[in-house]
Amino acid sequence: MSEHIQVERNGAVQLIRMNRPEKKNAITRAMYAAMARALAEGDADESVRVHLILGVAGAFSSGNDMADFMAVATGAEGGTEVYDFLMALAGAAKPIVSGVDGIAVGIGTTINLHCDLTLATPRTEFRTPFVDLGLVPEAGSSLLAPAIVGRQQAFALLALGEGFSAERAKAAGLIYDVVAEDELEAAALAAAERIASKPPEALKIARDLMLGDRAALVARIKEEGVHFRARLKSDEARNAFMAFMSRKKG
Ligand code: COA
């Protein structure tokens, strides 16, 4: 387990909280592993009906831990934790709600493409600087984002790295609603409880129909992964990671 992932039960809602505020919830391999396990365990537990993913005040997540990126870029083994998490997310049997406040970078944005309802606060900015980092879209986002927000908004998000405010994200269909900071967690929990109150069998069929062909999503995640792993070792990416890692020293 990771000390930075807290898993709690609130009735039929399983709350998975990323809790590494000192790094704005940058996600480490141990955190991916803990979240994958939580999703699998919640799916297997009949008393759980909904997963709720939260961050901390001001930071949903600053994305993949840059030090982990750098390690792979300079030759370390990548591990399967990210892949395992993405498979658990894309294959989740139960609905997923997310509550996002503040920073939502990289996978901090793309997690939400797998959620059934996302609530975000007015100060939230969704941003995926994949290309600026010499990388490519991940987590199936190259398939999901164009389907959800249309090709041109997806291009602005995934290729240009434009920030999407919560209002823009809502207008684009990326999220369900915008709620005030001090109401976020209660509103996200209430949304999860509302889902949990529905007849679970009918809800499961309805959700599965809306999700459609998950085999295509899994195939896309794998295809993106091949490029992503290769890109991690590119000069473009290494230079971008080095610029981030050394910026504090300047
Ligand atoms: N990986 C590792 N550490 C990270 C991180 C990440 N993705 N994002 C932030 N941190 C760390 C910072 O290095 C800093 O650590 P330090 O205090 O030990 O130096 C701490 O978290 C706070 O970050 P800071 O940059 O001071 O906060 P900020 O509010 O000014 O900026 C961000 C927040 C998220 C905008 C900025 O940190 C950032 O751009 N991070 C990289 C995001 C990214 O590109 N992720 C990968 C996407 S694919």
Q: Are 174 and 112 in contact (CB under 8 A)?
A: yes
What integer is the mean pLDDT of 2-30?
A: 97
Q: How many CB atoms lie within 10 A of CB 56?
A: 18
- Measured in Å, residue 187 CA sits from the centre of ligand 1 at 27
* Closest residue CA from atom 36 of ligand 1: 62
CA-248 nearest atom, ligand 1: 19
Strand order in the sheet with 164-165: 59-61, 103-105, 125-127, 164-165
- Measured in Å, residue 143 CA sits from the centre of ligand 1 at 27
- Measured in Å, residue 66 CA sits from the centre of ligand 1 at 8
The one-letter amino acid code at 88 reads A
User: Mind listing the pLDDT tens digit for each residue in 88-122?
Assistant: 999 999 999 999 999 999 999 999 999 999 999 99
**Residue 3 or residue 248, greater confidence:** 3
User: Mind listing the pLDDT tens digit for each residue in 141-186?
Assistant: 999 999 999 999 999 999 999 999 999 999 999 999 999 999 999 9
Q: What is the pLDDT of residue 78?
A: 87
User: Collapsing DSSP states into helix, strand and coil, what is residue 10?
Assistant: strand
DSSP for 23-86? GTTPBPHHHHHHHHHHHHHHHH-TT--EEEEE-BTTEEE--B-HHHHHHHHTT----SHHHHHH
Q: Which residues have CB under 6 Å of ligand 1?
A: 23-24, 26, 62-67, 103, 105-106, 129-130, 133, 244, 248
Residue 14: pLDDT over 80: yes
pTM summary value: 0.97
For the domain made up of 5-183, give the CATH fold. Answer: 2-enoyl-CoA Hydratase; Chain A, domain 1 (3.90.226)
User: Mind listing the pLDDT tens digit for each residue in 27-83?
Assistant: 999 999 999 999 999 999 999 999 999 999 999 999 999 999 999 999 999 899 999
The CA distance from 36 to 32, in Å, is 6
Residue 1: pLDDT over 90: no
Residue 250: pLDDT over 80: no
User: Mind listing the pLDDT tens digit for each residue in 175-205?
Assistant: 999 999 999 999 999 999 999 999 999 999 9
- Measured in Å, residue 48 CA sits from the centre of ligand 1 at 33
Confidence of residue 248 (pLDDT cuts 50, 70, 90): low
Residue 8: pLDDT over 80: yes
CA-59 nearest atom, ligand 1: 34
The CA distance from 40 to 104, in Å, is 24
Confidence of residue 242 (pLDDT cuts 50, 70, 90): very high
Please, which residues have CB within 8 angstroms of residue 128's CB and are 6 or more apart in sequence?
105, 106, 109, 110, 137, 141, 157, 158, 161
Q: For a pocket test of ligand 1, which of 18, 24, 242 has the largest count of ligand atoms closer than 8 A to its C-beta?
A: 24
- Measured in Å, residue 24 CA sits from the centre of ligand 1 at 6
Q: What is the pLDDT of residue 190?
A: 98
- Measured in Å, residue 57 CA sits from the centre of ligand 1 at 15
Q: What is the pLDDT of residue 249?
A: 53
Domain residue ranges in the chain: 5-183
